[in-house]
Structure 1
Amino acid sequence: MNFELTEEQKAIQHTIRDFAQQEIAPRLMEWDENKQFPVELVPKMGELGILGIIFPEEYGGAGMGYIEYALIVEEISAVDPSMGLTVAAHNSLGTNHIYSFGSEEQRRKFLPPLTTGKTLAAWALTEPGGGSDAYSLKTTARRKGDHWILNGSKTFITNANYADYCVVMARTNPGEGKAGISAFVVEKGTPGYTIGAPMNKLGMRASDTAELFFEDCPVPAANMLGKEGEGYFNALSILDGGRISIAAMCVGIARGAFEHAIRYAQERAVFGKKIYQYQAIKIKLADMATQIDAARLLVMRAAAMKDAGRDVNMESAMAKL
């Protein structure tokens, strides 16, 4: 078992760390205070391969794995979790659902602009009446000729206002239970598809989050992802990869806080000594470092298993905890 990163992985880590410090850190307080999504960062992240890190080069991606992806999300989140969340929702959820369950024609159509940073992806499962309880969703899709007509709403959708493509789960056959849910790519500008104002949040306010509304919204039948009735089960599979990225984001947040704590301990003096010189503070910092490293190891284990094609349902959930 090798715990060392490869030279390429270390280079990626350093590149993203520099990017976060140079492009995000100087303005992150401004963006957060103004609840402003920094759309100008999207093409820059696309150029670095951040928005297509886990997808094959033939679709415009970087052709790398979940270990590299987790490293990227951690580095960005250590500076600004708003951007870490943006990257995670785009890669793990919206874009990955298209890649994992879309047809070859759908991949060729939707993936290149997503993996290269020309636009973002959103993923819409959560509804006002149910978040983690995905099975309770009320949004419906009714077949009408060569279209499906969507009606309903979604809430707390990351990247909502800036995504040209949103993967939406809807109930296509109410009488079939879990097998009655399907997934669709809804394109921005489709009649009957409206996006609410950015939601007011306690934190990560530079991440775009909004409600979605569907009122007799016609979606081409060709935009259904996978087979009819597979949406619920496919969504659960997608969430496994999503948990890895959210866990990496949390490690980044913790590491960023730890680095601030270290700097403060080195600057603050009481009774003639810097506070890091006191045993009580050393113990606190040691505990923090140990817990962060343990959390990172859980993330890396789940990422390595994902790259090996193994089931990570339990491991990704443990990492996220």
Structure 2
Amino acid sequence: MNFDITEDQLRTQQVARDFAAHVLAPRATDVDQNARIEAESIGQLGDAGWLGMTIPEAFGGSGGDFVALALAIEEFAAACANSAGFVAANVALACRPLLAYGSDTQKRELLTPLARGKTTLAFAPADPDNLGAGVVHAERQHDGSFVLRGETSPVTLFGQPDHVLVFARTADERVTAFVVPYGAANLHVTVLPGHLGKRAARLGVLRFDGVQLPASAAVGQQGDGLSIARSALDDARIAAAAEALGIARAAYEKAALHVKQESPKTPAPGLLGVQVMLADMCVEVEAARLLTLRAARQADAGTTSGSERSMAKLFASEMSTRVAHKAMQILGARNVATTPSLERHFRDARMAELSDDPPEVQRAIIAAAMLKA
């Protein structure tokens, strides 16, 4: 496969690197400590076109392809994993489902504002580990409207979204997607306590106690829910792999810089051991990048399979934790304490590995594809 990066993609990468350095990195510590991405930052991401990547300009997007998206998210994650995660979720789990399945009205009133950072939407499958199970039920009324009842699994909210994309079972046992206003009557949200890393991606459980929705709230046709959810999660895996890659790269670069600065003071035997660790870290980062770019390239060509995206996400997310852990070992306790961003990288890497779409799911997808071949 040809992994050459085009001039347009390289330009996107450089612009993303500059944006990350000047806009995201200075706020990364505050975002982590306050567990919140401020509206100003979301607006800047939207104004710069990052929230509408891969979305046509006709719908408020900035165009581009999955390779450019992966390159940009890697740069963002190296500076601020929380912001990178928000961009990834907005593109893959909010904009792209509406682009593929949304009505003309939904594209005009929701997709375009999402791509421009003027509104937000959370993705809430009823059960991320078994999308067909569903614990939210939608009862169709005589006038064509729906009433939702039930409770979701923990949902990534990124603060307080304006809308939620919910997947619910209808009477015929099929799954249908609905756009629900976050402030809808009879929708109750329990925000869960803060977690280890990626703290701005706050989790919450949504309870629907008879939430009434018009027929126009349905996304796609009745029964399209599983296809919508699976397609969105497939796209999100490329973005998630790039995010984990960026976290790992940042940790590796900090460790390498520390070794360069300290090597004159380190005895040769001790330096050799550290060099071996750095070499392993470098190889893992590069391997993850190749897997991620392969999945992105094939997504752009329309030839990728779900297993290739799962391979990228699985390897990159687990690699990120390993690399961040080795970086902390290289710096040692004293230097980690004076390099708080490295400690943040480790926490963010661990959460990127475990949250939403965990390694066990990726292994199941990969194994199923292997046995089917």
Q: Could you tell me the TM-score, scaled by structure 2's length?
A: 0.79
- Partner amino acid for 1:103? S
Counterpart residue number, 1:244: 238
Give 1:130-149 correspondences, 5 Å limit: 130-144=127-141, 145-149=143-147
In 1, Cα distance between the equivalents of 2:150 and 2:276?
52
Please report how far the alpha carbon of residue 25 of structure 1 lies from its aligned counterpart in structure 2 after TM superposition. Answer: 1.7
Structure 1 residue 256: Cα displacement: 1.1
Q: How big is the shift at 1:217? A: 0.7
1:244–1:316 CA contact under 8 A, matched in 2: yes
Q: Partners in 1 of 2:190 and 2:86 — Cα distance?
A: 18
Asked if structure 2 preserves the Cα contact closer than 8 Å seen for 1:49 and 1:62, the reply is yes
Which 5+ residue runs of structure 1 have no aligned equivalent?
none
Q: Any conservation in 2 of the 1:24–1:79 contact (CA below 8 Å)?
A: yes
2:90 corresponds to 1:90: yes
Q: Mark the runs of 5 or more structure 2 residues left unpaired by the alignment.
A: 315-373
Aligned partner of 1:183 in structure 2 is: 177
Q: CA deviation at 1:262?
A: 1.1
| Structure 1 position 254, deviation (Å) | 0.8
Deviation at 1:255, TM superposition (A): 0.6
Distance 1:50 1:265 in 2: 34
The answer to whether structure 1 residue 9 and structure 2 residue 9 are counterparts is: yes
1:298 counterpart (291, 300, 307): 291
Q: C-alpha deviations, 1:213-265, integer Å up to 9, x for none?
A: 22211111112111111211321122111111111111111111111111221
SS at match of 2:149: strand
1:73 equivalent in structure 2: 73
More strand by share: 1
Q: How does 1:1-321 map to 2 (within 5 A)?
A: 1-126=1-126, 130-144=127-141, 145-159=143-157, 161-173=159-171, 176=173, 180-197=174-191, 199-269=193-263, 272-273=265-266, 278-321=271-314
Q: Which residue identity lines up with residue 27 of structure 1 in the other structure?
A: R
* Sequence identity percentage: 35
Aligned-partner SS, 1:62: coil
By how many angstroms is 1:318 displaced? 0.7
Q: One-letter code of the match for 2:277?
A: K
**SS class of match (1:266):** helix
Deviating more after overlay: 277-286 vs 252-261:
277-286
Contact 1:77/1:83 (CA < 8 Å) preserved in 2?
yes
For the 8 Å contact 1:154–1:212, the answer to whether it is kept is yes
Deviation at 1:33, TM superposition (A): 2.0
For residues 188 and 140 of structure 1, what CA distance do their matches in structure 2 show? 17
Question: What SS does the aligned partner of 2:284 have?
Answer: helix
Q: Contact 1:83–1:207 at 8 Å: present in 2 too?
A: no
CA distance in 2, matches of 1:16, 1:172: 42
Amino acid at match of 1:98: L
Give the superposition deviation at 1:276. Answer: 11
Amino acid aligned to 1:278: L
> How far apart are the structure 1 equivalents of 2:197 and 2:106?
35
**Does the 8 Å contact 2:263/2:271 carry over to 1?**
no
Tell me if the contact between 2:186 and 2:208 (Cα under 8 Å) persists in the aligned partners: yes
SS at 1:213 equivalent: strand
- Paired residue type of 1:260: K
Q: Which residue of 1 aligns with 2:328?
A: none
> The residue matched to 1:205 in structure 2 has which SS?
coil
Alignment partners' CA distance in 1, 2:114 and 2:40: 15
Q: 222-231 or 260-269, which moves further after superposition?
A: 260-269
Distance of 1:2 and 1:181 partners within structure 2: 39
CA displacement, residues 112-169 of structure 1 (integer Å, 9 cap, x when unaligned): 100011122211014xxx4312222210111122321111222432235432222110
CA 1:280/1:79 → structure 2, altered by over 3 Å: closer, same or farther? same
CA distance in 2, matches of 1:56, 1:199: 37
Tell me which protein shows more helix as a share of its residues: 2
Cα distance per residue 1:251-286 (max 9 Å; x no partner): 11111111111122122357x348899332222212
**2:186 aligned partner, one-letter code:** G
Compute the RMSD of aligned alpha carbons.
2.1
The 8 Å contact of residues 161 and 195 in structure 1, kept in 2 or not, is answered as no
Structure 1 window deviating more from structure 2 (253-262 vs 193-202): it is 193-202
